[in-house]
Amino acid sequence: MATVVPEEIEVGQRSAGPRIMMLRRTKDIATELTELLGKAEREILISSGKLNAELYGSRGIVEAVQDALEAGLTVKVIVGPHVEESELKNLLEEQDALRVLRTVPPLHFAVVDRTHFRLEDAHKLEDCQDIPSNKVGWDLPKTSTLLARYFWTLSRIASDKGFDV
């Protein structure tokens, strides 16, 4: 069986089937993350360093998470010990959907339905506005499932109160 290698496309272009997009500007990241979260039908998992208020506090992202919670979807977020105050943080705390880890998660990502993902390049916590690039993967269940498993493992071993699986 031949391996399907997703093509790399530029922001704004679309292709059918599996694909990975490279994003380099904060505006594009918020727009693409909002679209990603809006695709959720079952589950949203987010691993973040500090739940950056500028990015995760954007109206589209807050509304996408709120819509998912109201629809009864599973929404879980893990974050490092220095979580920023935002409307999203408050919403997640109200829904018992936020876990603060003892240390900053080494990978920052979002996974939707174990099919789509966003993965940040490694960066210093204080440089979250200057992330070298983000990868957004559509219709890539193997990679998305690996990230989801990593999420659940971190949730259990790196926090005082992990999520029930």
Reported as half-sphere exposure (CB side, CA atoms, 13 A), residue 69 has a value of 18
Q: pLDDT-based confidence at 9, cuts 50/70/90? A: very low
pLDDT digit string, tens, across residues 83-119: 999 999 999 999 999 998 888 888 889 999 999 998 8
What domains can be seen in the chain, in order of their start residue? 19-157 (3.30.870.10)
Instruction: Give the position of tokens 């105050």.
Output: 85
pTM: 0.82
Of the two residues 30 and 43, the one the predictor is more confident about is 43
10-34: buried (b, 16+ CB within 10 Å) or exposed (e) per residue?
Answer: eeeeeeeebbbbebeebebbbbbbb
Beta strand pairing call for 7-9 and 19-23: parallel
How many angstroms separate the CA atoms of 151 and 141, rounded? 15
